[in-house]
Structure 1
Amino acid sequence: MTEPILDAAPALDFDLKSLPKVSLHDHLDGGLRPATIIELAEAAGHTLPSTDPVALGEWFRESADSGSLVRYLETFDHTVAVMQTKEGLFRVAKEFVEDLAEDGVVYGEVRWAPEQHLQQGLTLDEVVEAVQTGLEAGMDSAEERGQQIQVGQLITAMRHADRGQEIAELAVRHRANGAVGFDIAGAEDGFLPSRFKDAFTYLAENNFPATVHAGEAAGLDSIQSALVDGRALRLGHGVRIAEDISVEFEDNSDDDGEDTIGMVTIGSVAAWVRDRGIALEICPSSNLQTGAISGFGDGIESHPVDMLFQLGFNVTINTDNRLMSGVTLTDEFELLVETFDYDLDDLLELTLNAAEAAFLPLDEREALVEYINDAYANLG
């Protein structure tokens, strides 16, 4: 199918932090406060690159801003190391929610891999319970400050390991205790979702939703496997779906000036994702840092997020790892406004996309959508 590329919307001048936001792709071990890492590392006897909070934060950002997903993932050695006790997991989860609420997030899903937090003898169930207790404490803390937020867990299996079935069963086991969905994460290239086909079948049999990291470090084969083998309702990042879209520009200029039209051809995989509203959990800054968009250009202006959004893909905006990228969801919205001249209507549409893609019951999604619409309507 072919369609014209539309012009970007005009810019706006607005306090974006005050807008209600929905966060669907945010890793627990990528959202720690540097000061917390230092305190927990001292108690655990773990050596850090720096014991100064400012310098440590800079180290994480510089390491992540390397253009390599492999090096980006290496930064997690330090965060995961301080998340091996109930106390550490509780504190990290509580502060995670507090920081989201401070940024205006009213609904969030936090993804993390329980299998990475067993080094001090905790069981899978114990780490999930510790995180849930911390999330609930964070929600209570936010409410005490007059902030409204709800957060659920996305229980994640590491794609290079062989614990997919075990982690899927863990997720289903805790569906009444905060677990809202399942994911696979880690090294994507060379580890297709098909490795976890039986686990995804188990989840489907138990009516438990899945989002799958795909289309970040690997391309269309990864996305196709996520859709077929993973039965993905959302794609973690999914940005490389743009590799299935081609653009040809036609010069229709006349004597009065230039008039260039871009004609778009959408491939079968991309058409399937778009036409069925499968949400893309796009993380603009992270995608630039990890090299996920290197095939499209060097700068953020080359990110295909705007093309995907204009073509009607179900685009949602996320942070991925706030510590490593040094961003908040407000920052990501500001980046889109500055780069693509998005206006308030665009930001509302992106936020509603995320709300409607949330792993919530229908009545709760509808209430969330109504809350966001009312908040935007009251801005005037």
Structure 2
Amino acid sequence: MHLSDILRAPKVVLHDHLDGGLRPATIIELARECGYRELPTEDPAELAVWFRDAADSGSLERYLETFAHTCAVMQTRSALERVAVECAEDLAADGVVYAEIRYAPEQHQEAGLSLDEVVEAVNAGFREGERRTGGRITVRALLTGMRHTDRSLEIAELTVAHRDSGVAGFDIAGGEIGNPPARHLAAFRHLRQHNCHYTIHAGEAVGAESVHEAVQVCGAERIGHGVRITDDITVHDDGTAVLGPLAAYVRDNRIALEVCPTSNLQTGAAKDYATHPIDLLRRAGFRVTLNTDNRLVSGTSMSEEFAHMVTAFGYGPDVFEELTVAAAEAAFLPLPERRRLIDEVIRPGYATLRDA
């Protein structure tokens, strides 16, 4: 599959952090506007390299430290709107037709914005981004509660309050070690009481037990990353995979895994692309989706993630259509919108690629 075909392929991303995907030049300009002087460089190309190098540590905790710079310049309504507009534009230019973008509203209040004002600014930016791209992309937000703070119920309530204005659901994120999702059961209970969607980061820095807690204790509909579910899978010498009870439950109940290969390499959840568990999980029948996680921090895009899969596993249009349809089916969208996305955008797009 050639690069031009990859760029043209319709894509769906379910796991992409707003504060992890800024344009380097935008960070520098916003830093000047707000007087932030802690950037390691003011050269856009050098800054992009710095983020990627800082993230290539093999540690989730070190990876997360890079967000101090991006969050620092995302503290005003105009900055949040600009970042959201550019996010939609950049994804659309990469062939993304539907995106769920997550961010933690509580991290954008240093200049006095209320939680509602943060959400309104980001939503306004996404709507403007959709308009500027001629409707080629639909963007919805996921509001993230942080595992290490005590505001998850507040963010869950915020999610419910804004779900009719562009917020598709809730997420819980941050360092996994020492911060189990079960600490936030009140937030998940509130979301279920109000029939609101949510996903949980799990199975990245911590093993299969974190996936079990996210699914069985907290009721996650999707799992952010989830690659450590392989701890519950035995692969024999002939290549056959035997699933343990947890892995079988996740597969059989079609709980989607939001897999982010490049990010997994950076945080130490996988060694390299060639041995990344995404192919094992796909062949074993899991609902696997392919994602970016953080486009700036990981130095990646959806097209680059596709290209890595071509090189590592020889994937072509049929497999990418399978992954993209799986993502659309797992999207936090009403069923008619998911069907339209699949039937009118994704499948015709891949049919055109094959015909060409």
TM-score by length of 2: 0.97
Match of 1:209 in 2: 197
Q: What SS is found at the alignment partner of 2:236?
A: strand
Match of 1:39 in 2: 29
Q: What SS is found at the alignment partner of 2:196?
A: coil
State whether structure 2 residue 122 is matched by structure 1 residue 134.
Answer: no
Give the AA of the match of 1:73.
L
- Structure-2 separation of matches of 1:335 and 1:248: 26
- Structure-1 separation of matches of 2:5 and 2:166: 32
State whether structure 2 residue 223 is matched by structure 1 residue 235.
Answer: yes
Query: Following TM superposition, by how much is the alpha carbon of 1:14 offset from its aligned partner in structure 2, in angstroms?
Result: 5.7
Q: Confirm or deny: 8 A CA contact 1:12 1:337 kept in the other structure.
A: no
Match of 1:51 in 2: 42
Query: Following TM superposition, by how much is the alpha carbon of 1:68 offset from its aligned partner in structure 2, in angstroms?
Result: 1.1
Task: Report 1:165-204 matches (<5 A).
Answer: 165-204=153-192
Query: Following TM superposition, by how much is the alpha carbon of 1:367 offset from its aligned partner in structure 2, in angstroms?
Result: 0.3
State whether structure 2 residue 113 is matched by structure 1 residue 122.
Answer: yes
Give the AA of the match of 1:291.
G
Q: Given the alignment, which residue of 274, 299, 303 partners 1:301?
A: 274
- Structure-2 separation of matches of 1:113 and 1:13: 34
Q: Confirm or deny: 8 A CA contact 1:12 1:344 kept in the other structure.
A: no
Identity of aligned residues (%): 56
- Structure-2 separation of matches of 1:150 and 1:13: 23
Task: Report 1:21-170 matches (<5 A).
Answer: 21-47=11-37, 48-143=39-134, 148-170=136-158
Structure 2: give runs of 5+ residues left out of the alignment: none
Moved over 3 A (4+): 11-14
Q: Confirm or deny: 8 A CA contact 1:200 1:229 kept in the other structure.
A: no
Structure 1: give runs of 5+ residues left out of the alignment: 1-10, 250-260
- Structure-2 separation of matches of 1:125 and 1:269: 38
Q: Confirm or deny: 8 A CA contact 2:3 2:307 kept in the other structure.
A: no
Higher alpha-carbon deviation: 318-327 or 227-236: 227-236
Q: Given the alignment, which residue of 252, 259, 263 partners 1:275?
A: 252
Query: Following TM superposition, by how much is the alpha carbon of 1:344 offset from its aligned partner in structure 2, in angstroms?
Result: 1.2
Query: Following TM superposition, by how much is the alpha carbon of 1:12 offset from its aligned partner in structure 2, in angstroms?
Result: 6.8
Query: Following TM superposition, by how much is the alpha carbon of 1:263 offset from its aligned partner in structure 2, in angstroms?
Result: 2.8
Higher alpha-carbon deviation: 356-365 or 14-23: 14-23
Query: Following TM superposition, by how much is the alpha carbon of 1:108 offset from its aligned partner in structure 2, in angstroms?
Result: 0.3
Query: Following TM superposition, by how much is the alpha carbon of 1:374 offset from its aligned partner in structure 2, in angstroms?
Result: 1.2
Q: Confirm or deny: 8 A CA contact 2:273 2:309 kept in the other structure.
A: no
1:220–1:46 CA distance, 2 compared to 1 (3 A): same
State whether structure 2 residue 317 is matched by structure 1 residue 358.
Answer: no
Q: Confirm or deny: 8 A CA contact 1:234 1:281 kept in the other structure.
A: yes
State whether structure 2 residue 346 is matched by structure 1 residue 372.
Answer: yes
- For the aligned residue pairs, the C-alpha RMSD in angstroms reads 1.1
- Structure-1 separation of matches of 2:82 and 2:217: 36
1:123–1:130 CA distance, 2 compared to 1 (3 A): same
TM-score by length of 1: 0.91
